[in-house]
């Protein structure tokens, strides 16, 4: 196989050091539970260690890791009917300013299809094209979800925090 990659310990450690916090914050925002988010980070890196293909560049690797994290979070939400939520205190792990807590709490209450788009765009600063590649949806679907997510977030924030 000419596209087979061998993951060295150094590569795994470097990749973990570079992307673990990003994966954790994404997972925490989606799952609203610290231990579940930590499990997702661990599962992402287990998949990374087993993934045999090479990446074109670091952006391709990051997109793959975030897509895997997103999919694991969705699976977790979908299949865990007894999903337990922690209070908004989980946000303190993200080192976010106190005045942003209301927005983040409202964001955490959005349906996951809008939450992930807003997190990728505003927290991780991905462009619409990049989000569509990560989530494997069209650019127009990404734009529509981003627009709808902003509208829902604004309504929820105004209703609950203003």
Question: What integer pLDDT is reported at residue 83 of this predicted model?
Answer: 41
Main-chain phi, psi angles of 84, to 5 degrees: -100, 140
- pLDDT recorded at residue 87: 47
Average of pLDDT values for 38-60?
A: 92
pLDDT of residue 122: 82
- Alpha-carbon distance of 50 to 70, in angstroms, equals 18
Q: Which residues pair with 4 in a beta bridge?
A: 53
Predicted confidence at residue 125, as pLDDT, reads 81
Domains of the chain: 1-90 (1.10.1740.10), 96-162 (1.10.10.10)
Closest alpha carbon to 102 in 91, 116, 118, 117: 91
Model confidence pLDDT, tens digit, residues 127-158: 899 888 888 899 999 999 999 999 998 898 88
- List pLDDT tens digits, range 56-105: 999 999 999 999 999 998 888 775 654 445 444 544 454 444 445 677 78
Sorted by sequence, the CB contacts under 8 Å of residue 18 that are 6+ apart come out as none
What is the structure's pLDDT at 2?
46
pLDDT at 106 over 50: yes
Block residue for tokens 């590569």: 11
pLDDT for 100: 58
């Amino acid at each position: 196989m000419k596209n087979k990659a061998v993951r060295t310990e150094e590569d795994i450690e470097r990749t973990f050091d570079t992307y673990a916090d990003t994966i954790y914050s994404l997972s925490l925002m989606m799952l609203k539970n610290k231990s579940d988010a930590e499990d997702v980070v661990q599962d992402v890196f287990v998949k990374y260690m087993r993934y045999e293909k090479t990446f074109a560049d670091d952006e391709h690797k990051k997109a793959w890791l975030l897509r895997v994290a997103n999919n694991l979070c969705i699976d977790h939400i979908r299949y865990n009917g007894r999903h337990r939520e922690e209070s908004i205190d989980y946000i303190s792990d993200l080192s976010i300013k106190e005045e942003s807590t209301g927005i983040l709490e409202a964001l955490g209450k959005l349906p996951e299809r809008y939450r992930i788009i807003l997190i990728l765009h505003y927290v991780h600063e991905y462009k619409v094209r990049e989000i569509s590649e990560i989530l494997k949806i069209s650019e127009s679907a990404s734009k529509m979800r981003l627009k709808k997510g902003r509208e829902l977030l604004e309504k929820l924030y105004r209703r609950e925090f203003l």
